[in-house]
Amino acid sequence: MKIFLKRKNQDLLLEATNEKGNSILMDASPEIGGTDAGARPMEVILMGLAGCFSLDILHILRKQKLTIDDYRVEVEGIREKVGKANPFKQILIKIEVLGNIPVDKLKRAAELTFQEYCSVSKMLEKSAQITYELYLNNQKI
């Protein structure tokens, strides 16, 4: 796996591209010379976590032939100062699913994802406490 990164302007706007040509923009805050024209690198990490967690859960449910009417995730990262850096110390993932999904199937899909499948959470759990909440048809389970 390789990522290629190039500067897009004379400020701090960057474009990261994978080997297949898919790309994202990253930028910094105006306080340090950015223009807010892309996601911050720490936001990209949370996006990666949301994507990894979601792809696994959706794949597990789809293999069981369960129909999901709507699916949303909110990820919140809480950071702490460590020297001059600000890594995540806590991350909360809120997963909202709408559809005729049995509660036990959704719970099991989330457990498998968190405990076994999501490579991003496995990497991040070494340095941050990661928790998740499940909502099925607007009810916390």
CATH number of the domain residue 59 falls in: 3.30.300.20
Find out whether 28 and 12 touch, Cβ atoms under 8 Å. yes
What does the alpha-carbon distance between residue 39 and residue 35 come to, in Å, rounded to a whole number? 10
Q: What is the pTM of this model?
A: 0.91
The pLDDT value recorded for residue 21 is 97
Domain region containing 133 = 41-140
Residues 68 and 117 in one domain: yes
What does the alpha-carbon distance between residue 4 and residue 23 come to, in Å, rounded to a whole number? 9
Summarised one tens digit per residue, pLDDT across range 19-49 is: 999 999 999 999 999 999 999 999 999 999 9
Residues 113 and 49 in one domain: yes
The DSSP symbol for 30 reads: G
Q: How far is CA 71 from CA 23, 35, 57, 97, in A?
A: 24, 31, 10, 5
Total domains in the chain come to: 2
Residues 117 and 56 in one domain: yes
Residues 24 and 51 in one domain: no
Summarised one tens digit per residue, pLDDT across range 59-95 is: 999 999 999 999 999 999 999 999 999 999 999 999 9
What is the arithmetic mean of pLDDT over 1-10? 95
Helix and strand counts by DSSP (H, E) for the chain: 3, 7
